[in-house]
Amino acid sequence: MNGYFNNLNFFPSNKVIKDMRKYVDANKIPVINDEALIFMFELIDLIKPKRFLEIGTAIGFCVINLASYDSEIIIDTIEKNELMFSEAVKNVKKAKLNDRINVYLGDALEFDLNNLASEYDIIFIDASKAQYIKFFEKYEKLLSPDGLILSDNLLFHGFVNNTKEIESKNLLHLVEKIEDYNSFLARNKNYQTKFFTIGDGVSVSRRIKK
Ligand code: MG
């Protein structure tokens, strides 16, 4: 984000958030950037979600920021990597947010939905990029009638729709999967999706009322 705007914007700040920023920089862990975070704060102010579900916790940076920003929001978040999961649990505890953030260990594709609430006002997909269509199809069942599904990294570091310079087969496969997901969203007649060049590419999908 433009440094000037960054200074004008309000970001929640406390020791845990500062320590997490250092940790992700030192360990090169991809987390939501400031621009996408500010966008999420605005969505939260507009739709006042009671319950928020995140697929892909990493170390809890996003959810701790959201819960620090909005003192009412209740968040469930799923992480499949055990190291990340335990780091996230530690951070949530340090931030004293364990009453409003529940971190679950598990593969979101195999996760038992009975462990979760029956409805979420925002579902944020930010896990294994190759599985986004499957995440969407599984978790849309939990979306409240006026809820939003957000998806992150839809431009994947500028490689999406720009595959010429990709040499690695794995990366190409991943980027093609993200392109498939973007088309899936654009074509999905049950949702109206808007795409934003915010952060690494974010979409907002709103269910179309029948
Ligand atoms: Mg992300």
CB of 64 closer than 8 Å to CB of 20: yes
Could you tell me the two tokens for 40?
Answer: 């999420």
Architecture in CATH for domain 3-207: 3-Layer(aba) Sandwich (3.40)
Cβ atoms within 10 Å, residue 3: 8
Tens-place pLDDT, residues 71-126: 999 999 999 999 999 999 999 999 999 999 999 999 999 999 999 999 999 999 99
Where do we find the tokens 């199809």? 137
Q: How far is the CA of 117 from the centre of ligand 1 (A)?
A: 23
Alpha-carbon radius of gyration of the chain? 17
Instruction: Assess whether pLDDT exceeds 80 at residue 161.
Output: yes
Could you tell me the two tokens for 93?
Answer: 């505890």
What band does 209 get if pLDDT is binned at 50, 70 and 90?
A: confident
Q: How far is the CA of 210 from the centre of ligand 1 (A)?
A: 31
Assign residue 157 a region (left: φ > 0; alpha: ψ between -120 and 50; beta: otherwise): left
Q: What is the pTM of this model?
A: 0.96
How far is residue 126's CA from residue 109's CA, in Å, rounded to a whole number? Answer: 13
Q: How far is the CA of 60 from the centre of ligand 1 (A)?
A: 12
Q: How far is the CA of 200 from the centre of ligand 1 (A)?
A: 7
Phi, psi of 145 (to 5 degrees): -55, -35
Q: Which residues pair with 192 in a beta bridge?
A: 206
How far is residue 1's CA from residue 180's CA, in Å, rounded to a whole number? Answer: 27
What band does 21 get if pLDDT is binned at 50, 70 and 90?
A: very high
Q: What is the pLDDT of residue 115?
A: 96
Where do we find the tokens 């984000």? 1
Instruction: Assess whether pLDDT exceeds 80 at residue 1.
Output: no
Domain locations along the chain: 3-207
Helix (H) or strand (E) holding 34: helix 34-47
